Amino acid sequence: MSSIIQLLPDHVANQIAAGEVVQRPASVVKELMENSVDAGSTEIKLVVKDAGKTLIQVIDNGKGMSVTDARLCFERHATSKIRHAEDLFALGTKGFRGEALASIAAIAHVEMKTKQDQEELGTHIVIEGSKFVSQDVAVLPKGTSFSVKNLFFNIPARRNFLKSDTVEFRHVVDEFERVAMAHANIHFVLIHNGSEMFNLPVSNTRQRIVNIFGGRTNEKLVPVNETTEIVSINGFVCKPEFAKKNRGEQFFFVNDRFIKSAYLHHAVMAAYEGLLKDGTQPGYYLYLDVPPNTIDINIHPTKTEIKFDDEHALYAILRSAIKHSLGQFNVAPVLDFDRDTTLDTPYDYEKKDVGMPTIQVDSSFNPFADDSDDKPTQTFSGGGSRSSSSSSFSSSYSSPTFKKDKMPSWESLYNGLNTSTDEIAEISFESEEVTGSLFNDEEVEQTAHKTYQIHKKYIVSPIKSGMVIIDQKRAHQRVLYEQFLANITVQHGSSQQLLFPLTLHFNKSELGIIKEMKESLQNTGFVFDEFSDDHIVVSGLPVNVAESEVSILLEELLNDLEQEVPDTSFRQSDSIAKSMSRSLAVKTGVALNETEQETMVNAIFVCKEQKVSLYNKPTFITLNVEDLDK
Ligand code: ADP
Ligand code: MG
């Protein structure tokens, strides 16, 4: 048989290599910006159209390339940055593999203009899908400009794989921010579809971070500085009270290169131990400098993962440096923010005289609800008057916003409900709480309502065939969801006008998502007065949203949409409705008064999809009389 192995032609090999290096427009942004940094530029401008799908242009004022280099740079394994394998262990540059430009040129239309400072004239090259189209001499400013157009023009499958412009642009911004954060001594500009998104003058690192993430970032930062033989650590961590539900702003730079490291992240989290509310994450911007020969950057084509010689020592140093900073900046006392004052009660009682217990009869008394007494009786018609009941739901906490955070991940609360009647059968009455009142004739009269709340989790109500057990949280989510969805899609979401408009701060990418969702949000009842660089002004809210709930509501919405902003307006509406109902629905562990319970029972049974929760779990189960007889 004849031999069958052949060497791949260069353009095919380049296309294959491109698959590793270039996943999306943001990858091109990263490679081109890093090249500009390596070229010693003091000014780098990124111009992007349609999230980079149409155009990515990087213009720098760096050292430029000679005529020969201008041609050579598009060859695979062509690099000016290393010569010998040993150089890999003394890297002072971002690049070294010499594949980026070859890869990019294999899958896009590329135009490059470059001139070295000492030369009169520069070089202008056009290359498309690895084929040189033209090369001219041209009058150019010092530095290099790359334009990359029609990315993946020759790989339709990959082009189709790209996400919506919003998502792709967020990736572009992420890469831009990472490079900009690592080099505060370089002036960076980002222009998207003709408008300037960032203009970051040369500054110190703190100012750079604030310029990127918005004015309020400054007050959140606690400096971290530690120098040892194996690493020097600089940068900032955020005060624990600013921790967020999403991982948002967490950055490690090693020798000025952004990297990801679950291990180092763990070290940071360990330093915050005991300081964070459940389920929240601190922001951090940490710059580690290590001797280049103690790391290996070459383990991943995009160079975002690296191997350290002595990971364990790094872990320990990082953790203690952060702990020290958090302690020094007196962050610890803030811990009290979440203290549950009800825990203090037993000690107060110690000092009290023993007295005859009195039973106060209250028409709204619910034997299974132990903190409902001070709650004003309110109808909550699913969504309609939710805002007023919500403030009473949170009355036992100092800040209503924190209440939701106290709940563990909501899904986990539910494990088990799927199961069966066995489990439900285990629910027993708490007899000491009901003694007295239940045996009082008058009281029996008054509390002979049709619903009971059990374990602040289930509402039980008799029905013709037996009884129904409703999961209060799932049911309320379902009720709110259907209302929100109807509001959004029928465009009748009514608003409550705020006396004093609210100013809410967000970073640029969060604002991008809100802008993208603006119309759907307006349909729910939001009224936006102003969209600026780092904040929005809200002057109207959906009727069922309380003022105190707005920021957590939007934070949770952004968290939900972080990975992907739905592209159709229907899916947007669905996501908003889901997220808002999840934020606003009454949680497990909240006592409901009689009226609220009854309203809930009525509301769930008029839902279109009454039986299943938003996440396909049962909202209620029924037990018929035979079941009960058994
Ligand atoms: P690497 O960065 O790994 O060396 P690249 O393919 O990204 O590989 O770039 C190849 C070479 O082209 C670089 O080593 C550098 O010499 C040159 N080069 C690329 N971009 C620029 C630029 N903006 N300014 C000057 N030289 C550049
Ligand atoms: Mg490079």
25 token code pair:
């427009």
* 81 pocket-lining for ligand 1 (C-beta < 6 Å): yes
Residue 446 — pLDDT band, cuts 50, 70, 90? very low
Please state, in angstroms and rounded to a whole number, the distance separating the CA atoms of residues 100 and 226. Answer: 35
More confident: 311 or 246: 311
Q: Are 50 and 193 in contact, with CB atoms under 8 Å apart?
A: yes
Find the length of the chain: 630
Q: Are 599 and 453 in contact, with CB atoms under 8 Å apart?
A: no
Task: Determine the distance separating the centroid of ligand 2 and the alpha carbon of 32, expressed in angstroms.
Answer: 7
User: Atom 8 in ligand 1: which residue has the minimum CA distance?
Assistant: 98
Please state, in angstroms and rounded to a whole number, the distance separating the CA atoms of residues 291 and 269. Answer: 25
* Number of helical (H) and strand (E) elements in the chain, helices listed first: 23, 22
252 token code pair:
């490690």
Per DSSP, what are the bridge partners of residue 124? 113, 136
Please state, in angstroms and rounded to a whole number, the distance separating the CA atoms of residues 356 and 359. Answer: 10
| Most confident range, picked from 199-208, 365-374, 383-392 | 199-208
Task: Determine the distance separating the centroid of ligand 1 and the alpha carbon of 120, expressed in angstroms.
Answer: 21
More confident: 617 or 124: 124
- Report pLDDT for 361: 54
Please state, in angstroms and rounded to a whole number, the distance separating the CA atoms of residues 303 and 20. Answer: 11
SS3 8: coil
Pairing, β 143-149 against β 55-60 = antiparallel
- Report pLDDT for 338: 38
* 96 pocket-lining for ligand 1 (C-beta < 6 Å): yes
* 235 pocket-lining for ligand 1 (C-beta < 6 Å): no
* 14 pocket-lining for ligand 1 (C-beta < 6 Å): no
| Most confident range, picked from 21-25, 63-67, 323-327, 621-625 | 63-67
User: Which element (helix H / strand E) includes 127?
Assistant: strand 122-128
- Report pLDDT for 190: 97
* 65 pocket-lining for ligand 1 (C-beta < 6 Å): yes
* Index of the ligand 1 atom closest to the CA of residue 63: 25
> pTM for the whole thing?
0.66
Q: Are 271 and 326 in contact, with CB atoms under 8 Å apart?
A: yes
Testing ligand 1's pocket by substitution, the residue of 72, 79, 88 carrying the most ligand atoms inside 8 A of its CB is 79
More confident: 340 or 157: 157
Among 339-353, 384-398, 596-610, where is mean pLDDT lowest? 384-398
User: Atom 23 in ligand 1: which residue has the minimum CA distance?
Assistant: 36
Testing ligand 1's pocket by substitution, the residue of 34, 35, 44, 58 carrying the most ligand atoms inside 8 A of its CB is 35
- Residue-wise pLDDT for 289-330, tens only, equals 999 999 988 777 777 888 999 999 999 999 999 999 998 876
Phi, psi of 281 (to 5 degrees): -130, 140
Q: Which residue in the block uniquely carries the two structure tokens 């037996």?
A: 466
Span 489-499, average pLDDT:
77
More confident: 183 or 567: 183
- Residue-wise pLDDT for 500-542, tens only, equals 888 988 887 788 888 888 888 888 889 998 888 788 999 998 8
- Report pLDDT for 615: 86
